[in-house]
Chain A
């Protein structure tokens, strides 16, 4: 019997200690973030705030790291449970349609000088990113913290040679005639249309051009996940389409989508992109670029330091421009990740004070120096010496930047699956698009 008592005592102590852990940290704002460069940067900024302003205001801020695959799952569960366990949610422009109703509008807090003691404001931030954080009734729901955009990465050394070497030019003409039906001249990537992109992809694929220094022309992301669909959206916009039409109705079953899908399908079907790219995403693309096996790719800005930075075997060989143009214009997808206040938080006022500091230039500067990419025009521009991609990004986003609306997050998963079925030829393009159109209409009817 003594032993049983002992076991019971030990268990009771353990239970109590768990309870104690749970009960502490009363005045700590809990902010959801996801692990990676963003949280590494925030980790460096937080102590500064906590030790200076936080101390004066009587609270501190902590990050809750939710892994990439769990961030939605957990946040959704918290939202559904109307839980006050975290005070600030991680969000992105395109998820507001899904999560906006669980978040607090920020406009009134920002306008209140009692709370906004730091003078944080939406001026100075890239306007498109602020607008991206607006949702119902044009209210602001989040502070944009990290800007992501799509670039066309290309091997500068190879393109230079293509533009000057007569023999290469001749091959380029012949290949474009053979595979695309028109004789095309090599051009500067900044002037490319999607056809030029395909022609260059053929040229840099060994299968079609044995002299090609790279094995494959481009790397096209194919993994079934929302972000893959966004990469394709650059092309879709270029052909005049959009996820939602002028009246806000979802729109995939159209001519523009067919044309844009043809481009992707050519890459996969003709072997212009590595065969395994059908399941590839960010990391796989990076490995292909770092291994020097592909010449072009439409890829995220965040890859820049990884493929072009010092520890890359191909350091300095890549240059970036906006993705190619279609007949209806040239677009570069971008979105911002950021944080907003949990509607069910019990410390909204503290959260609002913290948010108002996030809107200041002081924060943007600190955050950028720590490795974040805050869409604050002057900060990004001032850093373009250390991070050349920041300069490119400001230019590309301001000239060609385009967002997906707040409701896109609801259908991104189904979009990607059907698009992927189409470009891998698992189902005919028309059928996939009809399917997608119907599925997304059904889904959106619920929101």
Chain B
């Protein structure tokens, strides 16, 4: 009796998962395998139906390409810096919102506003808004930077960082804010009774409670920033030279501007492999948080 029940449970469990499984296999696994296959071929638009098998040639060429290494380094630096900035901002702002004040509902919506606009479109609009001569944002920022040339060599990285920060800090904010909302008020009150001041309460009570969510948010943000594409593509297209070329832009240009599909797929899979270890770690961490 118990055995059949187990079997039945297993079957039901599997059936419930089946639709999702099918979806992942059809639309993620199959295209990915197809892409993996392409990465071993010299596949270009002129021979895509009958590409030549070249083994690991694409991967070898990739690692000899200083542009690729440079783009990885740029992405890494960008990811670390932007994530640190956005985590700090997100935490401070979440703390600020984690109390009652008049107009909070409207303020919350307004704060989440930047994330309702597609980064590609906003990035394109930023070309005007940061324009050296007629850009309102450039004009406002010149008070701090001393110049309106925010997309020149000197400030282009900073501009990308700040544009990305306005666009994506809201995501960090949501995570931290909802985590804060989950912290029980009693604990905080208890700490208050014990005479802890606001700073101590944050460091000793709140932070430990939300630390695992913070860590997961940090890692997720880091990986997402590493793959940044749309904003940079719209604003600088990777230039000047190869200065702001992120790994995703490298792949995009390989695939869609040089039609070198084999190499582009090789780069994608290299990137995927690199992200695999941190991703696995992150997934396990998330799963453990669930329990």
Binding site for B on A (CB under 8 A): 72-73, 76, 79-80, 82, 98-99, 101, 222-226, 274-280, 283-284, 287-288, 290-291, 293, 410, 413-414, 417-418, 420-422, 424, 426-427, 443, 446-447
Contacts and interface: CB of A to CB of B under 8 A. Distances in A.
Contacts of B256: 72-73, 76
A287 B235 contact: no
Nearest to A421: B241
A279 B258 contact: no
B119 interface: no
B150 interface: yes
A417 B239 CA distance: 8
A431 to B, nearest CB: 11
A278 B134 contact: no
Given A80-B48, A287-B133, A443 B240 contact: no
Interface stretch (B12-20, B94-102, B151-159, B170-178): B151-159
Contacts of A279: 151-152, 156, 235-237, 239-240
Interface in B34-53: 42, 44-46, 48-49
B253 interface: yes
Contact of A224 (B44, B45, B127, B241): B241
B46 A413 contact: no
A101 B151 CA distance: 40
Interface string B244-259: 0000000001001111
Contact of A293 (B46, B133, B153): B133
Contact of A287 (B67, B134, B153, B243): B134
Given A76-B45, A283-B127, 10 more contacts: A76-B256, A98-B45, A224-B238, A225-B237, A274-B133, A276-B148, A276-B149, A284-B131, A417-B241, A426-B240
B151 A280 contact: yes
A277 B149 CA distance: 9
Contacts of A275: 132, 147, 149, 152-154
Contacts of A287: 128, 131, 133-134
A79 B132 contact: no
A225 B46 CA distance: 22
A427 to B, nearest CB: 7
Contact of B258 (A224, A276, A443): A443
A447 B260 CA distance: 11
Contacts of A72: 256-257
A421 B132 contact: no
Contact of B240 (A73, A226, A278): A278
Contact of B45 (A80, A274, A417): A80
A276 B242 contact: no
Given A224-B240, A291-B134, A276 B152 contact: yes
A437 to B, nearest CB: 15
